[in-house]
Structure 1
Amino acid sequence: MLEPTPFRTEQLRLETGERFVLTVDADGMPAWWPNLYCQIRIRERGISYSAMRAYMSAVCAFHNICAELIIDVDARIESLELFREEEIATLRDELREKRRNPTESVKNAHWKSRLIAVAEYIVWRCDPVIDRMVLDDKRLPEARRRLEALPKRLVGKIVVKKNTSKEGMDEKTEQAFLDAITPGHPTNPFNKRSQVRNQALWRLYHAGLRRSAPLILTGGHLHLNGDDPYVFVPRSPDDPNDPRADEPRNKTLAHSVSLRPDSAAILHDYMVKDRLTYPGAKKSKYIFLSQESSEKSPKPLSIGAVVGMYERLREKVPGIPADFAPHMVRRTNKDRMGDAAEEAGLSPSTEQSVINQQSGWTPTSETSLQYQRRRLRRKGNQLAIVMQDKATGGRANG
Structure 2
Amino acid sequence: MKRYKWNKKTFFAIVDKFSCPVDPYASVYLNTLTHFRLSTQSRYGGELLFALKYFNSKGIDLTERAVSGKLLTMSEYTSYYEHSAKNAGHSSNEKVVPLFANSEDKSLRNILASNTFLISKVSNGTHRGRIHRLRMYLNWLFEQFHDPISVRQNIEDQLNKLTMKMIADEQSLRSKEDQQTRHPEDDAIPPEIFCKMLEVIRPISPNNPFTERNRLRNYLIVSIFLDTGIRRGALAKLKCSDLRSDQSGSSLWIYPHHDDSSDPRHERPNQKTKSHLANLKPELMDTLLFYIEHVRNEVPGALNHDFIFVSESNSRGTQGQPLAAKSINDMFLTLSKVLNHRLHPHLLRHMWNDIFDDKADYQNSTSGWIEDARKYAMGWSANSTMTDTYNDRRTHKKVRQIMQKHQDMVDAN
Higher mean C-alpha displacement, 227-236 vs 245-254: 227-236
Higher mean C-alpha displacement, 126-135 vs 278-287: 126-135
Q: CA separation in 1, counterparts of 2:6 and 2:193?
A: 44
- The correspondence of residues 190-269 of structure 1 with structure 2, limited to 5 A, is 190-207=210-227, 208-223=229-244, 228-269=249-290
Match of 2:378 in 1: 359
Match of 2:109 in 1: none
- The correspondence of residues 33-44 of structure 1 with structure 2, limited to 5 A, is 33-39=25-31, 41-43=32-34
Aligned to 2:285, the other structure's residue is in SS state helix
Higher mean C-alpha displacement, 290-299 vs 107-116: 290-299
CA contact (8 A) 1:280 1:298 kept: yes
Gaps of 5+ in 2: 92-118
- Give the root-mean-square deviation of aligned CA atoms: 2.8
What displacement does 1:176 show? 1.7
Higher mean C-alpha displacement, 235-244 vs 341-350: 341-350
Q: CA separation in 1, counterparts of 2:378 and 2:142?
A: 43
1:184 and 2:204 correspond? yes
Aligned to 1:212, the other structure's residue is in SS state helix
Relative to structure 1, the CA distance from residue 59 to residue 199 in structure 2 (aligned partners, 3 Å threshold; closer, same or farther) is same
- The correspondence of residues 112-131 of structure 1 with structure 2, limited to 5 A, is 112-131=128-147
Higher mean C-alpha displacement, 184-193 vs 93-102: 93-102
Match of 1:277 in 2: 298
CA contact (8 A) 1:169 1:332 kept: yes
1:347 and 2:366 correspond? yes
Relative to structure 1, the CA distance from residue 115 to residue 177 in structure 2 (aligned partners, 3 Å threshold; closer, same or farther) is same
Match of 2:353 in 1: 334
CA contact (8 A) 2:310 2:319 kept: no
What displacement does 1:100 show? 4.4
Match of 2:194 in 1: 174
What displacement does 1:134 show? 6.4
What displacement does 1:335 show? 2.1
Aligned to 2:14, the other structure's residue is in SS state strand
| CA deviations over 1:287-320 (Å, ceiling 9, x no partner) | 00013459997310011111111222222224xx
| CA deviations over 1:23-45 (Å, ceiling 9, x no partner) | 21232112311012223x434xx
Aligned to 1:42, the other structure's residue is in SS state coil
Gaps of 5+ in 1: 1-8
Match of 2:120 in 1: 104
CA contact (8 A) 1:120 1:151 kept: no
TM-score by length of structure 2 reads 0.81
TM-score by length of structure 1 reads 0.84
Letter in structure 2 aligned against 1:193: R
Structure 1's consecutive aligned runs of 4 or more residues displaced over 6 angstroms after TM superposition are 132-135, 294-297
| CA deviations over 1:152-196 (Å, ceiling 9, x no partner) | 344553331341335522432221221221113233222222111
1:300 and 2:289 correspond? no
Match of 1:47 in 2: 36
Q: CA separation in 2, counterparts of 1:285 and 1:386?
A: 55
Relative to structure 1, the CA distance from residue 332 to residue 376 in structure 2 (aligned partners, 3 Å threshold; closer, same or farther) is farther
For these two proteins, the number of residue pairs brought into alignment is: 375
Aligned to 2:12, the other structure's residue is in SS state strand
Relative to structure 1, the CA distance from residue 191 to residue 374 in structure 2 (aligned partners, 3 Å threshold; closer, same or farther) is farther
Relative to structure 1, the CA distance from residue 206 to residue 147 in structure 2 (aligned partners, 3 Å threshold; closer, same or farther) is same
